[in-house]
Amino acid sequence: MTQTPSPRPFHHPQPGSALHCGKVSLETLARRYGTPLYVYSAEQIAERLNLFQQALAGRSHLVCYAVKANSALAILKLLADRGAGFDIVSGGELERVLAAAPEAAGRVVFSGVGKTAAEIDLALTAGILEFNVESEAELALLAARARKLKRSARFALRVNPDVFADTHPYISTGLREHKFGIDIRQALGIYKSAAGNRWLEAHGVSVHIGSQIRSAQPFGKAMERVGKLVAQLKHEGIELKCVDAGGGLGIDYHGGAFDAAAKVAEYAAAIQGALANFDGRLLIEPGRFLVAQAGALVARVLTVKRNGKKTFVITDAAMNDLIRPALYQAHHEIVPVRPRPGRPRVVDVVGPVCESGDFFARDRKLAHVEPGDLVALLDAGAYGMAQSSNYNTRMRPAEVLVEGARARLIRRRETMADLLAPEIL
């Protein structure tokens, strides 16, 4: 049965009212938990997962959430309870999955270019689904650790299909000059050489061409090349059980109309069409698409400052709380939590950190705000808290998960004692 999407998670229930997440006012949450504050919609996350599960319902599949996008334990548990698997890129992320949902260990794929022996041992002991191997040296290390622990290791080579993805160069990963993956032309020989190792099981093949990709075409093109490799392997007597199509499906950060269901359907059709001759299990690794639009960073305006021809709206949130604008020149819509009368102004929205790069928007037309007002930076559920830091000895924000009319704290705000605890005089 098709699920009817709920309204956008952040909305004004009535004209002039405060911005809400679900049925909960962001003003209420800011009073209760302070600012800066990350707020997430559980309903939106569950709905996005369901879109992928419905689109792939006709074949064996597993949606492996990319933990790096947002690794909050409560969000991992929410997804695990709904049948999701997980894509991890570190031993620490595996520990998070095991803490949130130990029963999901067998639904974990381990990606990343620099796995250590200790991380491999942890994953082998936990019994994960497969290792996405990125080099011959890593495959040799995996075989050695599997032999040491006497545990068979299921692996998939992450092949590099040399497909261009029209995205920011920092998050494009599918070309030959990138650090990720193995040249797809070399993969057949590596699979054949691994076939004689009793501790290695050629379980699948993996690909990931980048992130924030808005068109389905590059995904289909990559899968066509993977499909040819799978057929070659089968001809050589190596029959893979799964294909991991990776993640990377993008969202709209500019606040326009966004038909998530149509995007997922287009994406699923492109992948499944290219893999029509493969009847094994399909893995996908969405991250941003599941959580980005479900989250907002709520901040309070400290002051509005005029400096020459520029107007600066200075907030209590900073680049240490949300680094994407400084790192990628990323766009986030910024809206007042409670609209007030007054003409919009062209402003820079910045934080208090001692860096010129501490900004959320430059020369942005922003609705009128005054000191003390709350603003919400939308679409901040992915790569927000996950990339936060304590730069300038700033405590990281609290996090709240909203489920209908209920909001619960899922991470308390850090204290100075937390920051100083690891240090030794």
- In this prediction, residue 207 has a pLDDT band, given cuts at 50, 70 and 90, of very high
- In this prediction, residue 197 has a pLDDT band, given cuts at 50, 70 and 90, of very high
* Model confidence at 88: pLDDT above 80: yes
Residues contacting residue 296 through CB under 8 Å, at least 6 positions apart? 10, 21, 26, 38, 39, 376, 377, 378, 379, 380, 381
Residues of the chain with pLDDT > 70, as a percent, come to 94
| pLDDT of 51 | 98
Q: The tokens of 320 are what?
A: 């240490």
From the list 226, 179, 182, 235, the residue with the least C-alpha distance to 205 is: 226
Query: Which of residues 168 and 302 earns the better pLDDT score?
Result: 302
Q: Give the domain ranges of the chain.
A: 16-40+293-414, 42-290
Query: Which of residues 160 and 303 earns the better pLDDT score?
Result: 303
Query: Which of residues 161 and 388 earns the better pLDDT score?
Result: 388
Q: Which fold has domain 42-290?
A: TIM Barrel (3.20.20)
| pLDDT of 6 | 54
| pLDDT of 256 | 81
Residue 354 a catalytic site member: yes
Phi, psi of 156 (to 5 degrees): -130, 130
Residues 20-58: tens digit of each pLDDT: 999 999 999 999 999 999 999 999 999 999 999 999 998
| pLDDT of 163 | 76
Residues 325-363: tens digit of each pLDDT: 999 899 999 999 999 999 999 999 999 999 999 999 999
Through-space distance between the first and last CA atoms of the chain, rounded to whole angstroms: 61
Residues 353-402: tens digit of each pLDDT: 999 999 999 999 999 999 999 999 999 999 999 999 999 999 999 999 99
- Check 21, 64, 242, 354 and give the catalytic one: 354
* Model confidence at 300: pLDDT above 80: yes
Cα 140 → chain centroid? 29
Peptide bond into 36 cis (omega under 30): yes
Residue type, 315: T
From the list 238, 178, 228, 234, the residue with the least C-alpha distance to 208 is: 178
Query: Which of residues 162 and 202 earns the better pLDDT score?
Result: 202
Task: Identify the CATH class of 16-40+293-414.
Answer: mainly beta
Mean pLDDT over residues 297-313, rounded? 96
* Model confidence at 74: pLDDT above 90: yes
Q: How far apart are CA 267 and CA 265, in angstroms?
A: 5
- In this prediction, residue 168 has a pLDDT band, given cuts at 50, 70 and 90, of very low
* Model confidence at 175: pLDDT above 70: no
Residues 127-148: tens digit of each pLDDT: 999 999 999 999 999 999 999 9
